[in-house]
Amino acid sequence: MLIAAAFLFLVIFVRFFYIQVISGAELRYKAIDQWTREIPVVAERGKILDRNGAILAGNITSYTVFARPNAVKDKQHTAHVLSEIFSLDEGELYEDLVSAKVSELTVVRRADAALAEELAAYDLPGVYYARDNTRTYPYGELLCQVLGFTSTDNEGLTGLEKYYDKYLAGMDGEILYDTDLVGVEIEGGNAAYLPATDGLNVALTVDKDIQIIAEEAMADAYLTYSPVSAQCIVLDPSNFEILAMVNYPGYDLNDVPREDTDLLNSLTRNRLISDIYEPGSTFKIVTAAANIEEYLQGNASAFSLSKIFNSSRTRTVDGTTIRCWSNHANGKHSNQTLAEALNNSCNPCFVDIALSLGKQTFYDYLEAFGFGKNTGIDFSGESQGMLIPESAVRDCDLARIGFGQSLAVSALQLACAGAAAVNGGYYYQPRLVESISDGGNIEEGFSPVLMNRTVSEEASRTLASLLEGVVANGSGSKAYIEGYKVGGKTGTAQKYENGAIASGKYVSSFLGFFPADDPKYLALVIVDEPQGAYYGSVVAAPYAKRIFEGIIEVRGIAPYE
């Protein structure tokens, strides 16, 4: 009997220990939940600003209305009032209040202040409201694929709204009121207030004025040439800060097409970062940079600035014939130097460079210029591009890579490579965000991160001068601006479908920068499948000029003397 009694007391002791110690916190929480009513205090989501403080994503105050069915005294009257104020189905709302399947109903979200004031006048028992925030985008479509959007609960779903959600979201608070078992507030009961912690503000590197200029230019390109898309990146070559990023067509961030999944996925995709394409002749910037650097380093295989290329229109490599886009009639591409090869965008000359440098050396430069790997930008979904492994590349592949075929890059990769070729040879990690703050104090700042060197400053200066000649005298002449030193390179690439060249489908592009002797702005314009004209020199270069002219105007940049 003593053993049995001892065992019984032991069981009781273990049970007490389990309830009070192990499950104590959980049971206390349940008790508080049963005897209190919580009114949420919603944190204000942090703003997204451009580099000059313009609000790109903000908030307007709204209200969420709740009802506790057990605390509602006159359900019919309550359902009628709520349905009248908020344009709801009275019968459905009454059924929800009567059935009491849940302890609390969310009646309506994001009601404006006037409706909340109208509700307050009725003083309905069991009905209450709490301040909420509705995300708003003052500029509508501007930067839409980059900014992204939020859910109805203000959680970041795409773009920077998602990538920096942990900073933007903040932490909700609540007000606790004493209630009876069915949720009716007790007169004279206590109230506890847990304040919300608002989200932090995120300041971008993007310049709103430049973004507007670029978006207007791409909208015009889309209207003029009816392409699949018109895209543009503008960045600062001195540190790779993104100044503008356009994917046209876009969508209104205040009216997201959530009901059409396919349309939503198409319009919200930031193709400049996530999609890849064959760059075509804009890639010749990289090939020329590698050649100039090797020549300066004393590599006898490299072409000097005065060396004359073979004037034949074709090159045969591994039994494959590679042709120039030009028929070389009238001796136009005869006896070309490197400068003239760039001006004329002559494919065979860049085949010669790639083959003369050799697989190992050329691939070392491809690695230095960031191809085949992520740039590290602060944005989700970045593509690495496609590059044939060095161990598998053949001479005919290497020859085509020299003028921008047999590899695929993202627009961001190409823009960064172009910047690293003309800025003195410095490859930085590209960035969209400049700082994170609480509205006054900087919580986290981001400085330029140098990833590696590509070429020497001498090689870079030489290349920039040659590319200035392309705009002044060559295929990039439609980007020329009187009184300003603009450099650049055109590109016209055929598209492939199911492993074969797609007839009549091209990607027209232009990569330009200014001032050529000290680059501060670089723009890559891409027009996918333009109708009518398709050469990058005709389709893309004029829009780069338009963007640069817009920057010159809004920034008050004086012409050189």
Query: Is the C-alpha dihedral spanning 458, 460, 466, 469 positive or negative?
Result: negative
**CA separation for the pair 235, 507 (Å, rounded):** 21
Q: Are 34 and 70 in contact (CB under 8 A)?
A: no
Structure tokens at 158: 């795409």
End-to-end CA distance of the chain: 110
465 included as an active-site residue: no
Q: What CA dihedral angle connects 117, 118, 120 and 122, to 10 degrees?
A: 170
Question: Mapping DSSP to helix (H, G, I), strand (E, B) and coil, where does residue 496 land?
Answer: strand
In the 3-class helix/strand/coil scheme, how is 126-181 assigned residue by residue? CEEEEEEEEEECCCCCCCHHHHCCECCCCCECCHHHHHCHHHHCCECEEEEEEECC
Phi/psi of residue 524, each to 5°?
-115, 120
Interstrand relation of 36-41 and 173-178 (parallel, antiparallel or unpaired): antiparallel
Q: How many residues does the chain have?
A: 561
Q: Are 483 and 558 in contact (CB under 8 A)?
A: no
Ramachandran region of residue 369, left (φ > 0), alpha (ψ -120 to 50) or beta?
alpha
Q: Are 127 and 135 in contact (CB under 8 A)?
A: no
Q: Which of 535, 549, 439, 514 is nearest to 217 (CA)?
A: 549
**CA separation for the pair 520, 539 (Å, rounded):** 24
Q: Are 74 and 229 in contact (CB under 8 A)?
A: no
Query: Is the C-alpha dihedral spanning 499, 501, 507, 508 positive or negative?
Result: positive
Q: What CA dihedral angle connects 52, 56, 61 and 62, to 10 degrees?
A: 180
Given 281, 383, 437, 475, the catalytic residue: 281
Burial of 480 (0-12, 13-18, 19+ CB in 10 A): middle
Q: What CA dihedral angle connects 23, 28, 34 and 38, to 10 degrees?
A: -120
Burial of 171 (0-12, 13-18, 19+ CB in 10 A): exposed
Q: Are 252 and 284 in contact (CB under 8 A)?
A: no
Structure tokens at 183: 């949720």
**Cα 60–chain centre separation:** 24
| Residues with catalytic roles | 281
